[in-house]
Amino acid sequence: MINKKNKVEILSPAGDMERLIAAVEFGADAVYLAGKEFGMRTSPINFSSEDLKKGIEYAHSKNVRVYLTCNTLPRNDELDRLPTFIVTAKNAGIDAFIVSDIGVLSIIKKYAPNVDIHISTQAGIVNYATANAFYKMGAKRIVLARELSLDEISTIRKNIPSDLEIETFVHGA
């Protein structure tokens, strides 16, 4: 039995609209995807602004959440485009941004203060001190580094606030 505190979320990648629909139809609770920039998901398709809005509308009509990867390390010449990207995603109804860069995190907090922030596995969180630091910066969820054991994950869980969600990969790379 899983109580609410320990609820499992089935989260699936969605590289395009076809895969988003498949994930939703096969029972995903949430999907994560990338826009045309700022995401490490390197599908040649990914989601345009228009497709992102359509995908979010479809997923939300089925009570499925949508998380947008914004987990690249943007260079100085990319930063001017980031606020528009964030506001567009916020206005489309994105449920959370998945980030790894603390500068990106702070920009999201400025332009989309009511959208949840998840810290990407790309941030390499392997201990509770890092998890707590991201929590203090506004993270709702941390995606732990893939190489952690169940014992290490348990130690992190015991040493972070109860409302800081933990996500971990259970399949794939």
pTM of the model: 0.88
What is the structure's pLDDT at 2? 40
**Contact predicate 31/14, CB 8 Å:** yes
Sign of CA dihedral 106, 108, 110, 115: negative
- Rounded distance between C-alpha atoms, residue 42 and residue 36, angstroms: 9
- Helix (H) and strand (E) counts for the chain? 6, 7
Q: Which residues of 97-135 are buried (b: 16+ CB within 10 A; e: fewer)?
A: bbbbbeebbebbbebbeebbbbbbbbbebebbebbbebb
- Rounded distance between C-alpha atoms, residue 83 and residue 152, angstroms: 36
CB count, 10 Å around CB of 51? 18
What is the structure's pLDDT at 172? 55
Max Cα distance, the chain (Å)? 50
- Rounded distance between C-alpha atoms, residue 82 and residue 63, angstroms: 28
What is the structure's pLDDT at 5? 62
What is the structure's pLDDT at 13? 85
What is the structure's pLDDT at 46? 76
What is the structure's pLDDT at 119? 97
What is the structure's pLDDT at 6? 66
What is the structure's pLDDT at 48? 81
pLDDT (tens place) for every residue of the chain, 173 residues total: 344 566 788 888 888 889 999 999 999 999 988 875 555 555 557 778 889 999 999 999 999 999 999 877 878 888 898 999 999 999 999 999 999 999 999 999 999 999 999 999 989 999 999 999 999 999 999 999 988 999 999 999 999 999 999 998 876 55
For residue 119, give the nearest of 94, 148, 140 by alpha carbon.
Answer: 140
CB count, 10 Å around CB of 22? 14
**Contact predicate 115/97, CB 8 Å:** yes
